[in-house]
Chain A
Amino acid sequence: MKLLIPLLAVLLLPACATAPLDAWDRGYLARPEMAWDPDSLSASQRSHVYFSKEASSGGVSAGGGGCGCN
């Protein structure tokens, strides 16, 4: 039941569909700071640290292995 709201939010995302943008209208979306993770090294390091220090981990990626971190 706790998962119902986030699950519904994910499934309903396509309902936000918008009209296609023209190529020349993508300038802002193409900016580096608009990437999901603009600094991938920083993102992977932070993810590794939080994985080591918190009980929760995971996201939308199939990569990465475990570690014996204390």
Chain B
Amino acid sequence: MKSKNARGHSAGAFKALSAAALAIPGIVSQVQAAAPVAEAELDYKASAYREADIEGSKLAAGSASRYEIDTHQLRFISPLGRASDLAVDLSYETMSGASPWFIMPGTGGGKPVQVMSGASIEEERKDIQTSIGHYFSQKVSAKVLLGFSTENDYQAVNMGVEASIEIPARELTVTAGIGFSDDEIEPTDPGMPDRIDSATRTSTTAFVAIAQVLNNRTAVQGGLTLVNNDGYLSDPYKKVWREDLSNTVADKRPNERQQVIASARLRHYVPSLRGALHVDYRFFDDDWDVSSHTVDLAWYQNIGDNWQLTPSLRYYGQSQAYFYGPFFYSARDDGYASSDYRLSPYGALSFRLRLERNWGEFSANFEWESYRAAANLAPDDVSVENPGLVEFDILSLGLNFHL
């Protein structure tokens, strides 16, 4: 009897200690969503995105200079009372440069060559995304999201709701959500031949994700996402070369697109190295016959007490849409046609390096990414490479303040 009481006291003490420990900010696992944010934070990031000029041998006409985008991002998160939190993300982008317009057959049986738009594109984009999370208990939480973005020729309103349920006995968190985006496009220069005046499209997303803690150093997450796009999904600024016409026609894609995405993520901490391994994989498949694999590897290496260095490597490989071609000899039976490099078969490698310095309540980070797309990186053999495939670098400076 005495021993039973002692065990009872001991179990009670452990339970109380566990509860107390869980109440300490930071003890709640980063890979579970058990509590609202403990303190307000402000993040700022400035980024310079620069696409490499298109090679002279691939350029038929237009500007060789491609896109340059400068981005400013601001993120504010804060507790809202004892059981809720708020996140606001603002983004402002200015864009300039030229983009691929259409592709012509190479002369004398040579490789196809790209016709670019003039370098006169000047645009800006403003985006605000907000979310409010509420934690009904230590096991159940929900989040409502609302966003709006506007560009010279594009407006999008999006909303969504997500819910998470934790099952502590199994170290499992199940999250599910639905989202909706209502977009409107009003192309500039609507008087140009084949260019629409305006159009709309909608996108509906539903996902479920399961996060599992495997041990005190490892967590994994699996996710399944379904997306339905409906409306005008063509690109009003791109055209397609038709040999039988010796002229171009408008880019034309189906008005529906169903996508399925399966993802898996792993986080593993190695105490002896004071570093964390991130492995992310995504499989994508849609009814345009585009199928892709994405693998992202990152290693977060802590150096001393205040520095962190993170090298990352990402591979992306996709198959082509069924109505894609660099150019067309005649019209397809279904009337669809696109020469957009983003619908062509290719692969891409990107390398990132991130350095962070922490001063307690304040930290700064610097990040560089180099991205290169090429047909010979595609999962399957590609007979004709799209000449518009992109190479870019991004330099970013980020600041974080604990308020």
Contact = CB atoms under 8 A, between A and B. Distances in A.
Interface in B28-63: 28-31, 43-45, 47, 49
Nearest to B263: A59
A53 B392 CA distance: 10
Q: Which has the most chain B C-beta neighbours within 10 Å: A29, A30, A36?
A: A29
A17 B174 CA distance: 13
Given A18-B214, A21-B171, A66-B156, A33 B219 contact: no
B376 interface: no
A10 to B, nearest CB: 4
A60 B269 contact: no
Contacts, number: 259
Q: Which has the most chain A C-beta neighbours within 10 Å: B175, B222, B290?
A: B222
Task: Give the dominant DSSP class at B's interface.
Answer: strand
B203 interface: yes
A23 to B, nearest CB: 3
Interface string A39-62: 111101110111001111111111
Contacts of B318: 54-56
Given A26-B28, A59-B263, A63-B129, 7 more contacts: A3-B260, A31-B269, A36-B30, A36-B267, A38-B300, A64-B179, A70-B67
Interface of B: 14, 17-22, 26-31, 43-45, 47, 49, 67, 71, 73, 75, 89, 91, 99, 121, 125, 127, 129, 131, 145, 147-149, 151, 153-154, 156-158, 160-162, 168-172, 175, 177-179, 181-183, 185, 201, 203, 205-207, 209-210, 212-217, 219-225, 227, 235, 237, 259-265, 267, 269, 271, 275-276, 282-285, 288, 290-292, 294, 300, 302, 308, 310, 316, 318, 321, 342-343, 348, 354, 365, 367, 369, 371, 373, 390, 392, 394, 396, 398
